[in-house]
Chains A and B, each alone.
Chain A
Amino acid sequence: MILHPGILALLLGSLLTLAAMLICAWIAFQVLRHWAPHRADQRQLSLERRSYLVSTLLNYALAFSILSLPLFLFTVDDLHPLFVGAMCATGSLNANPVGWLVLFNKILLVFCAGLWVVMNHYDLQSEDYPLTRIKSLALLILVPFVAADFLLQAVYFFGLSPEIITSCCGSLFSSGSKGLAAQVSSFPLQPMMIVFYTVLAEHLLLIIINLLSFRRYWRTLLALSSGLLFFTGLAAVVSFISLYVYELPSHHCPFDMLQRSSNYIGYPLYLGLFGTVLCSLVPSLLEFLGSSHGFVDTLARVQRQWLFAALSFFLMFLLVSSWPVVFSRLSLRSFF
């Protein structure tokens, strides 16, 4: 195994996160069995007190899960000089294909962790703990993903060896290769741009409609649109946004833009995308929880706050993704 400090930090952090999750899962199990807020007996008091422990541990654990995504990307990028053929993070991930699973699991965890933290926050604001049971159930569902995060990382890092010859983003994201990445890279540019901006316009429209209307139907549509925006956004980054960022018609790598050479433009770009998707999912979640668990009172005001946050992140993503397209010295007219 490669004893790299970043690897040690990631493994230690995810192990501690898993340990915290397991402690919380045990308490969540007790809650699901014995929770009875209408009874003020000793057992209920003890469960309420332990729910404070769950909140604190989970907030730390899930904060780490979210932060470990950029740390993971930085680490695999820092490792790439060790592998023949690797020129960036893509090469390191290709050196042991489990790395891609780690990445996908981490992305999934970012969204699940974010939604759980939101659910927990609103549960604690209400007098009768309306969401404690469903929160505990959600926690139990999260445990396998957190365990997978640790195990997959261990398998990935232990399976890395400097003798491996790997391929870099140039071959992964080139039109001549096979695979999803290659297919996305080779989408015709003009149709891809049209699709991207159409999805952006549609999502913006839905955010505005949701600010004006409180119908559940619009919230659900917004949630579905978030999913569409997420995948379309990533496809657009690989397909054409990366080309304008690097000013190179063959450079499709989605990770290099997180580096200094690209002025770290990847950070506001992905922050905008992840932020708008997460904030767009929250109103739908609150709507579902509120109507089925009866804490409707503050919902309207709270949902508006999340919609405004979604709008802010959306504008950030729109600006950062479109700026290079508009102002880059590269012209891709001949590809249209």
Chain B
Amino acid sequence: MKRHLKILEHALSSLRRRKGKSLAIVVAFAFTIAVLASVLFLSHALRTDANLMLTEVPDLIVQRQIAGRHELIPVDYAEAIRDLPGVAEVRPRLWGYYYDALTKANYTFVGLAKQAEPDWPLLQGKVPSGPDECAVGAGVAEVRRLTLGDELSMIDANNIGRFFTVTGIFQPSSNLLTHDLVVMTEEDLASFFNFSEGRVTDLSVRVYNSEEIDKIAQKVKRLFPDTRPITRSEISRTYDAVFSWRSGMLLTVFFSALAAFCILAWDKATGLSSEERREIGILKAVGWDTADILLLKFWEGMALAMISFMVGLLAALVHVFAFGAPLLAAVIKGWSVLFPPFRLTPHIDFYQVSILAFLTVIPYVISTVVPSWKAAITDPDTIMRS
């Protein structure tokens, strides 16, 4: 242990004496780590935030499919599903997407049942209660330059221009859920999209015991073979898979950066300056053996790696959680004109940090082993003969 500490001290002193080279490696390595860490932190934070949000999603959503394409579902199906044991509540839902040619954005239209109150806090105003009224999300309001009392004009399914008075605008804090939302009465929505009588978009099902969701989904499928029941866990799995896949894809791309850095590290370690060679020769001559030199090189590498790791980690934290990872967000979050700006909640755990260490520190240390060894096997009497 004493030997390790003494050699560590000399290693740190060596790095201090070669500030330029050490700094170059730290900067390059920290940058590489920051990039990889940003990818990991962003995808992990999004996954965690998505999972948190999904606790509000219905246990089961029943859609109708014909020839593999989504179709409106008869509202009568709700009665039969309600009668299944274990089902607590079935709510028909009317909603859809609208493409606004003016702003080239997609809005999500949601119909409000007469008795329903949205439980999202509004910035100002109130929920639409009558015909030709709507509440909009902050993104819609911004892109169409709307304030309370303004008219939102859209083209309906019959190609007729419709005007809706904005009675409320949603809070930015609910952005993740409401940013692109347009809420109106169910009647207005049905007439806007020309829904057939007795048809709704899908059915939201709540069950008494969440362990039974899969069983109930199977029963629904048996009852109505033209339906597609989607469980909450399936949605969660899809998000997990997408974020994992996207972050994995990015990591694969950034491996080239890591590989380039390791080549740099190898090159730096191999290309010892004459001063460094002389120093190793002196150490061998005054009583250091090969194992001691290897230990010195190990501590030099570890010190650089640890410093770079801390700096890179910190930079990634700031990049992702303070600035929202502008460089990476587009790939991992996906594309959308009306993408909600939202603050990511910092979520880091030991597993992520260890993956990062495995992906960065280990390849770096391995890439310096052979060059370090070549330097360490210098003959002790080289210095005598020079």
A–B touch (CB < 8 A): the answer is yes
Is the Cβ of A52 less than 8 Å from the Cβ of B377? yes
A9 to chain B, nearest CB (A): 4
Q: Map CB proximity to B onto A53-95 as digits: 1 under 8 Å, 0 otherwise.
A: 1011100100010010001001000100111100000000000
Q: Does A189 make an interface contact (CB < 8 A)? A: no
Q: Does A191 make an interface contact (CB < 8 A)? A: no
Chain A residue contacts of B286, Cβ below 8 A: none
Contacts A3-B248, A49-B290: A13 and B358 contacting too (C-beta < 8 A)? yes
Q: Does B132 make an interface contact (CB < 8 A)? A: no
Q: Which of A2, A8, A162 contacts B359 (CB 8 A)?
A: A8
Interface size class of chain A, counting residues whose CB lies under 8 Å from the partner chain:
20 to 34
A78 to B40, CA, bound (A): 13
A42 to chain B, nearest CB (A): 12
Contacts A9-B358, A52-B291, A84-B237: A2 and B363 contacting too (C-beta < 8 A)? no
Q: Does B113 make an interface contact (CB < 8 A)? A: no
Q: Does A324 make an interface contact (CB < 8 A)? A: no
Chain A residue contacts of B354, Cβ below 8 A: 71, 74
Interface residues of B in 359-380 (CB under 8 A from A): 359, 362-363, 365-366, 369-370, 372-373, 376-377
Most chain B CB inside 10 Å of its own CB: which residue of A3, A13, A57, A60: A3
Q: Does B227 make an interface contact (CB < 8 A)? A: no
Chain A residue contacts of B244, Cβ below 8 A: 2-5, 82
Interface size class of chain B, counting residues whose CB lies under 8 Å from the partner chain:
35 or more
A81 to B231, CA, bound (A): 13
Is the Cβ of B237 less than 8 Å from the Cβ of A16? no
Closest to B374 in A: A53
Is the Cβ of A162 less than 8 Å from the Cβ of B237? yes
Q: Which of A2, A16, A55 contacts B248 (CB 8 A)?
A: A2
Contacts A4-B244, A57-B369: A64 and B362 contacting too (C-beta < 8 A)? yes
**A residues apposed to B, CB below 8 Å:** 2-10, 12-13, 16, 20, 49, 52-53, 55-57, 60, 64, 67, 71, 74, 78, 81-84, 124, 162
**B residues apposed to A, CB below 8 Å:** 39-40, 43, 233-234, 236-237, 240-241, 244-245, 247-249, 251-252, 255, 290-291, 294, 298, 351-352, 354-355, 358-359, 362-363, 365-366, 369-370, 372-373, 376-377
A-B contact pairs, 21 of them (CB 8 A): A3-B245, A4-B248, A5-B247, A5-B248, A5-B251, A5-B352, A5-B359, A8-B252, A10-B358, A12-B358, A12-B359, A13-B358, A52-B291, A52-B294, A53-B373, A56-B294, A78-B351, A82-B240, A83-B237, A84-B234, A162-B241
